[in-house]
Each structure stands twice: as C-alpha cells, then as structure tokens.
Structure 1
Amino acid sequence: MSTSTSSIESSAPRRASRPPTKVFKGHTDLVGSVAYFPDGHRIASASDDETVIIWDLKSGRQDGEPLQHDSAVRWIAISPDGRRIASGLQQGGLVIWDAPTRKVVHEIKGGGVWRLAYSPNGRWIATALTAGERAVRLWDADTGRLEVLKCGGDVLCVAFSPDGTQIAVGLSRGFFQVIEISTGKSVVGPIKGHTRRVNSIVYSPDGCLVTASQDESIRVWDSKTGVQVGKPMLGHKKDVFCISITANGRRIASAGRDKTVRVWDLETRLQVGDSFDADYWVLSVAFSPDNRYLISDNGNDVCLWDTESLAIQGSSSPPSTSSRNPPVGVILHVCAHLL
C-alpha cells in the first residue's frame, strides 16, 4: 500500500462475492468506458474493438447496430439531453454522433483522446489526450471549434463544474487544478492532493470535488479553495482508476486495478456493504440516474450491479427509498457539514 494510506486503517469490510444483476455481452475486445443515457433506460459502452454499443437495459440486448470507428474507443460521454454521443479515439481524435439516427455529426481529427466530458448545457466537450498534453482541449459540440486551456501538468482526466463555468483537471504526479473557462485562468491550484497521479475527478452536485488516485485513495476537496474536506476513503489495494457520484450526491462508486467495485457513503466516508468483484481491472463505472444501479466494464463485458440491498456499515437494513431519492430541489451541502 502507498505511504499516503498505510498509516490509516482501511474502512472497507471483508470482500464477498456479489454476482452482477445482469451482464451485457457483445464486444470482442476490452471495454474501457461505460455511460448511462439520461432516461435511465439505456447504456452505452466503448471498446478496443472500435465500436460503441448501445444497450437496452430491460431486455439486455443491443439497441440497434454498433457505432463503428477506425480506432479503439477509449472513452465516451453522452450529452445531457441524450441526443449526442461523443467518442474519444485512441488514434484519430473525437467523433460526435447523433444518437437517434446513429449518424456522425462531427469528426474532429487530432491526437488520441484518453478522457472526455460534456458540459452541463451540452455546448462544450472537454478532452484529455493520451499523449499527456499540458492542456485541456475544449471543443464546441455544435461547430467543432477548438479552444485550448493551458494547465500546470499532464492532463489525465477532466470534469465540468455543475454550473458549467469551470473545468477541474486531474494531473500527473498527484496534482489537480480548476480553470475558469471564460478566461482560461487557473482559479485553484495546481495543488498536490495525492502522492501519485490523479486518475479520475468528478464534481458533487453541490460543487465539491472528488478525486481518485494511483495512491489508492479517494479524497474530497472544497473546489473554491482546494482544501481537503474530511478524511480520505480507503480500502482499494491498488490504483483507483475511476469514480462516479450519485445524482443526489450521497454516494460514490470507485473501481480500479484490484478488480473491485466499491460504494461509499460520502458523509461517513465508509464503504457501503461488500465490494462487487470483477474478473479484470475496472476502468469505468457509472451510477444510474435514479441512484440505484451501477454499470462497469469487466473485460469484454458490461456488468449491471444493484446497490439497493447495500447497507451502510453498522446498519442492519438497506437505505430507504426516501434516502435514495430526496425531494426535487433538495441539495446536499456535503462540503459545509463535513468541515
């Protein structure tokens, strides 16, 4: 275990085998990215077999023909309205698809894309390149126009703030940074938050930042100051590759090189239930819009995991429906009450 976590006892319970609720089979090579459509009825997966497959969750079958590419697809993102799919290619740049017609809207040539994200209003697509460029490439999703935002290190992952005005970037050597889109200037950092590279970064609904690292830890930050909020979430035995947060901001999912998918309670920082076990490294994980399900890659397959039965550590019963789905308009001010 890395030096940053060895002095703190892991909060993770004993691992137990929990089979997936459903397995989606159809790719012929490794799946590296998964995403939910906003309606919650379909998911998409991207693979080294140069395709993106859209799946119907109810039937477990492919929804239409796969989207064919000329290179391995490293990452995908779905627009907030569900009408566009952005594919980041290992070689060849970025392809934007119209989801209803399955036709290409834009094909943007450039370097290989490692990670990408859609802005909340669907206008922008931010990309991190596989070459480790010290900048975020920001594309206009309608015109393909490019803007470049310089960063303080090699960019490994990107996330838009909930209001869409800023981009958070995870960097090499454990740093992260927040950039104002309108000015291109850094408003936070670069700050060294981890001892090793930052593999994944997301915003909570109320604007906190959550980062996952090669140092095996997951940490929460005040996005305005860069100050760490509360204790880290520990339990992974190897690199954490990916994280996802529920729409209500209460839970985080994480996965990585130790072949486990874990769910965490953001308030207590404790793991919720036992880990879900995969057969391969897990590169991507995503919560469903209703906060109940998780999808993840597992080799050539995609797994669906039901988190409803997971009880918070120390509790004998699973969370109630009201705890999973708060009334519309309720925002959990996680950063404020954990300070």
Structure 2
Amino acid sequence: MSTLTSPVESSAARRAPHGPTKVFKGHTGRVCCVAYFPDGQHIASTSSDKTVIIWDVERGGQDGHPLQHDCSLEWIAISPDGRRIVSGLQAGGPVIWDALTRKVVHEIKGGGVWRLAYSPDGRWIATAPRVDERVIRLWDADTGRPGREPLKCDGRILCLAFSPDGSRIAAGMVDGVFQVIEISTGKSVVGPIKGHTRTVTSVVYSPDGRLLVTASQDKSIRVWDSKSGMEVGKPMLGHSDDVWCISITADGRRIASGGSDDTVRVWDLETRLQVGHSFDAGGWVFSVAFSPDDRHIISGNSLDDVALWDTESLSVSVFSLLRYSF
C-alpha cells in the first residue's frame, strides 16, 4: 500500500495498566467502525469526520491519504480478498473503493446506511437503510447495481451479518428482535425472535455457522442456535451499560465486546465467562474486531481514536486455552 503519513501514539504514555498496545491518531470525530484487512497488516476505520483512514499496523500511522466523503460515515466493510472497501454514508448510499488505488469504483445512491456487510464470496454487499424501510438491500459488488429484490424484515434494522456459507442474513432490530432471512427465497427462516429487552446493536455468526451471537443495549450478549433460534446457554453479563459491538475469533471460541461503559471485554463462548481483565478504552466503544490471527483486537471509540489491544495480556495461561485445550 502507500507511504505512511501520520504517527502512532504509544499506549505507555497514555493509559495504564490495561491500556492499548497502540493508539492510532488521525481522525477528528468519533470512530464509528473498524475492520481488519485479510492480510492482518492493515486496518481501516470510519468516522464522523467524513473520512476512511487506512492504517499500517506494524509500522504505525496512516497508509496513504484518507478517503474523503461528503457526510459522516456509519460503517465499513472490506471484501474477502482485501481489494475493495465499501463505506456506508449517513446521508447517502454505499461507496465502493479500490483499496489499492484509493479511487471510487461505484457510488450508489440512497437515503443513508446504518450497517453493511460483504458476502463471504465477495459477490454481494448487503445494506440496512437509515430510514424505516424494514428491508435489507443487496447490491452486486462488481457493478454496484441492485442484486435482487430487497429482503423484507419485521422491524427497523440496526445490524446485520451474512452466514458463513452466504445463504442467509441475520438482522438485529431496534425493538430487541432478531430474525434470519434466506437470500434465495427472501423468506424468514428464523424468527422474528424477541430475545432482548432493548435494541439489538450487533450480530455475528460463529465460523461454523451453528451459532448466532447478539449484543444489545440491555447490557447483555446472548447466543442462539442459528437454525432453530433457541437460546443456547446463559447470557454473557458484565457490561454496566449498553453493549454496542461484538466480534468473534476465527476459531469461534472467544467473543470481544465494547460498549458505553468505556471497556473492551473478551468472553469465553463455551463458559460465557469473561476472560481476564477488561480493557479501559477511555470512551464509548462503537466497534471491535479481532485480528485474523486472533492475537489482537482493534476498537473505535468516542475519543476519535483507533486502539489496538493485545489479547495475550489477558493471561498467558488463559489465552493458551484458546489455541490448545479444546
């Protein structure tokens, strides 16, 4: 990628004892979403300052110039091959960028995007609109054109996720409901299920597709059977305020979460218990993502920062369970 332009601040000078390993500074507004590129060496972040910034993880700082937009950004997704970036505008449709040239490939007209996601095969981009249309729109990632009729949902959508095989989309809604839509038929195959008492803010599939994990403003993280919609085990409780975001490890054994209590936490998906200490983010955490090798977590927060956390600092013995004990 391009030449570096901005420095990275060491956590030692900033927060302790459970502060980040690195803090990437460059945004001038709250960081809404963060995402890893498949190579694990670069990350991208969106902000209310109307930019997407790409960062070099190892060397620190910005990689090239920010991608400029006309309005604030809510969400970002990176294609599975790392060649495209799609950003969602608060007052427009998704914008598809070439990750190497940093040029716009397609700019799709629309009334604002809450959330978006790339399908696992890179063929589709799914978006949840800001307006109360109660639909998921599918766009052809190569042409930027509508891929099929919108998928109808039973509520206003705040978050969504493709199943690992790309055949289904799970949607979380503002009334605490989630449901799963079969893409080929457009029909709801799970739900709507009222699992939370407040807005569902984030949803992820386990890598094997067997489980769905949801987070909510009701301070809980819950696990569901993705086929039946039945809740599996007890919820993960510990956040003292809204949970805004979750991410899952590549092996499906840990969950990272962030919320309005200014913390990033890691959970054992089998025991539902928190692993080690909480990370002090110093501000509301809107987005988290595990690195491809599961060794780090990145987060975006209300302090305009992108932070990188070392999961091995939780405990060498506990983290070893992640890789060797099961």
Please name the residue that 1:177 is paired with: 179
- Can you give the 5+ residue segments of structure 2 that lack an aligned partner in the other structure? 1-15
Alpha-carbon distance in structure 1 between the residues aligned to 2:312 and 2:322: 11
Matches within 5 A, 1:71-150: 71-146=71-146, 147=148, 148-150=150-152
**Identity score, percent:** 74
Q: Which one of the candidate residues 306, 310, 316 is aligned to 2:314? A: 310
Tell me by how many angstroms 1:325 deviates: 7.6
> Does 2:268 align with 1:265?
yes
SS at match of 1:177: strand
Contact 2:77 2:87 in 1 (8 A): yes
Tell me by how many angstroms 1:284 deviates: 0.4
SS at match of 1:138: strand
Contact 1:34 1:295 in 2 (8 A): yes
Contact 2:311 2:319 in 1 (8 A): no
Matches within 5 A, 1:229-244: 229-244=232-247
User: For the structure 1 residues 18 and 176, does the alpha-carbon distance in structure 2 shift closer, same or farther, using more than 3 Å as the test?
Assistant: same
Please name the residue that 1:289 is paired with: 292
Contact 2:275 2:318 in 1 (8 A): no
User: For the structure 1 residues 325 and 85, does the alpha-carbon distance in structure 2 shift closer, same or farther, using more than 3 Å as the test?
Assistant: farther
Contact 1:241 1:256 in 2 (8 A): yes
Alpha-carbon distance in structure 1 between the residues aligned to 2:159 and 2:299: 18
Tell me by how many angstroms 1:319 deviates: 2.5
Contact 1:17 1:275 in 2 (8 A): no
Please name the residue that 2:57 is paired with: 57
Contact 2:221 2:236 in 1 (8 A): yes
Contact 1:201 1:212 in 2 (8 A): yes
Amino acid at match of 1:81: D
> Does 2:236 align with 1:228?
no
User: For the structure 1 residues 258 and 132, does the alpha-carbon distance in structure 2 shift closer, same or farther, using more than 3 Å as the test?
Assistant: farther
Please name the residue that 2:323 is paired with: 324
- Can you give the 5+ residue segments of structure 1 that lack an aligned partner in the other structure? 1-15, 327-331, 333-339
SS at match of 1:309: helix
Cα RMSD (Å) of the superposition? 1.5
Q: Deviations over 1:25-58 (max 9, x none)?
A: 0111111110000000000010111110000001
Please name the residue that 1:194 is paired with: 196
Contact 1:295 1:305 in 2 (8 A): yes
Please name the residue that 1:217 is paired with: 220
Q: Deviations over 1:202-258 (max 9, x none)?
A: 000121100001111000000100000011000011111000001110100001111
Tell me by how many angstroms 1:17 deviates: 4.4
Contact 1:248 1:325 in 2 (8 A): no
TM score, norm. by length of structure 1: 0.88
Alpha-carbon distance in structure 2 between the residues aligned to 1:35 and 1:245: 13
Q: Deviations over 1:254-284 (max 9, x none)?
A: 0111111100010111000111011211100
Alpha-carbon distance in structure 1 between the residues aligned to 2:122 and 2:270: 30
Amino acid at match of 1:261: V
Alpha-carbon distance in structure 2 between the residues aligned to 1:197 and 1:51: 27
Q: Which one of the candidate residues 130, 152, 161 is aligned to 2:163? A: 161
Alpha-carbon distance in structure 2 between the residues aligned to 1:130 and 1:238: 24
Tell me by how many angstroms 1:114 deviates: 1.1
Amino acid at match of 1:35: A
Contact 1:259 1:279 in 2 (8 A): yes
Tell me which stretches of 4 or more aligned residues in structure 1 moved more than 6 Å: none
Tell me by how many angstroms 1:73 deviates: 1.3
Tell me by how many angstroms 1:137 deviates: 1.1
Tell me by how many angstroms 1:295 deviates: 0.3
Tell me by how many angstroms 1:92 deviates: 1.4
Amino acid at match of 1:188: V
Contact 1:259 1:277 in 2 (8 A): yes
> Does 2:250 align with 1:247?
yes
Tell me by how many angstroms 1:309 deviates: 2.5
Contact 2:203 2:215 in 1 (8 A): yes
Alpha-carbon distance in structure 1 between the residues aligned to 2:260 and 2:133: 24
Please name the residue that 1:21 is paired with: 21
Please name the residue that 1:70 is paired with: 70
Contact 2:172 2:201 in 1 (8 A): yes
